[in-house]
Amino acid sequence: MSLLTVVVILLLIGMLFGLGVAQRRFSRLREVSTGLLVSYVTVMLLLAAGELYFRYVYMDSAWLWTRAGERWHAHYVQNNALGFRDRDWTPADWEGRQTVLVIGDSFTQGFGIENPDDRYSSVLARLLGDDYAVINIGVPDTSTRDQVDIFADYPLDDPDIVIWQYFLNDITDAGLSIGDQWWPRLPLERPAFVEESHLANFVYWRMAPLFTVVDVVEDQSYWDWAYYAYDNYAIWEIHRWEIAHQVEQILDTGARLIVILYPNPLDPVGSIPYVDRVEQYLHELGVTETLPLYDDIAYFYAQGYPVVVSPRDPHPSKAFNHHLGQRIYDQFFASAN
């Protein structure tokens, strides 16, 4: 059902109430119709006000595919000429400075963070000062295999330092390569007007979390599938190759490599074995500067600090980004500055 169809139906209902008020033969019908018409007009005004508010005012970073998510992204995310949420860098900008290339997914791009100056890479840049050029090339919805190509294609061939932000969903492409993937079944079938009306879209996606979003085939949540993928020998072996390929191409440039390891932010303790598995493999590859974040996230939860942007947006919060920027500086840079 389209939004136009819904509007026509509502207008017809209003016309029926109006006819009931206009007629003179049945006083009781006129009285009832008058009350209903007053209520109808009130409801229509509230719906119109709600539609205008959610169409032109309200924004929410949760779920980019929602109308509120699209508005948030259009308002807060401005990309440079190369498609990254960062300033436009030229060789002249980093000449004579230590270059720090920060790669990763939406956690590095700063999804959910309104001001890019609040991202961990920006916090680190301020702490390091003007002797360093900290370049953010985080891209949402990328995994290890994608980031290999992003790093290779970036026009800085010999960075001094690379900070690679790894997240446990980076194994997704390894599963996909052998046809094993998580394919969610949406909780409700969306009528057309949900996509056309910003108010209806908001109401729908507030209702949707009441239902469990699971895989069409296995009835698994996403994190059930992700943990399974790390325990699946074939998928893990493919992912080990992806990690090794990324490490090799970074180290071949002569760069110092620092890896930030994000657990599941909604289950930092339960995801420890998988973070540890990746960290141990990195150590086997000769990468010794690693920072797993499960203790940091657990500490934030214990102190009541916001770990994620919102209950609907599980990306790291502004507060956690500031903490991470300071943490990276203290652990890997403070002694040399």
Calpha distance 105→333 (Å, rounded): 23
Q: Which of 26-35, 132-141, 171-180, 320-329 is least confident?
A: 26-35
In angstroms, the Cα distances linking 20 to 24, 38, 43, 269 are 9, 12, 18, 64
Asked if pLDDT for residue 193 goes beyond 70, the answer is yes
Calpha distance 192→3 (Å, rounded): 7
Quick: pLDDT tens for 52-94: 999 999 999 988 888 999 999 999 999 999 999 999 999 999 9
Query: Quick one: pLDDT band at residue 20, thresholds 50, 70, 90?
Result: low
Q: What is the pLDDT of residue 21?
A: 62
Element (H, E) at 19: helix 3-22
Query: Quick one: pLDDT band at residue 5, thresholds 50, 70, 90?
Result: confident
Q: What is the pLDDT of residue 64?
A: 81
Q: What's the rounded mean pLDDT across residues 316-330?
A: 97
CATH superfamily of 78-178+220-332: SGNH hydrolase (3.40.50.1110)
Higher pLDDT, 220 or 79: 79
Asked if pLDDT for residue 17 goes beyond 70, the answer is no
Q: Which structure tokens are listed for 191?
A: 């009528």
Q: What is the pLDDT of residue 293?
A: 97
Asked if pLDDT for residue 181 goes beyond 70, the answer is yes
* CA-atom Rg of the chain in angstroms: 26
Calpha distance 209→145 (Å, rounded): 30
- As a whole number of angstroms, the longest Cα–Cα distance in the chain is 92
Quick: pLDDT tens for 284-299: 999 999 999 999 999 9
Q: What is the pLDDT of residue 189?
A: 67
Asked if pLDDT for residue 169 goes beyond 60, the answer is yes
Q: What is the pLDDT of residue 311?
A: 84
Asked if pLDDT for residue 161 goes beyond 70, the answer is yes
3-class DSSP state for residue 67?
A: helix
Q: What's the rounded mean pLDDT across residues 194-215?
A: 77
Query: Quick one: pLDDT band at residue 324, thresholds 50, 70, 90?
Result: very high
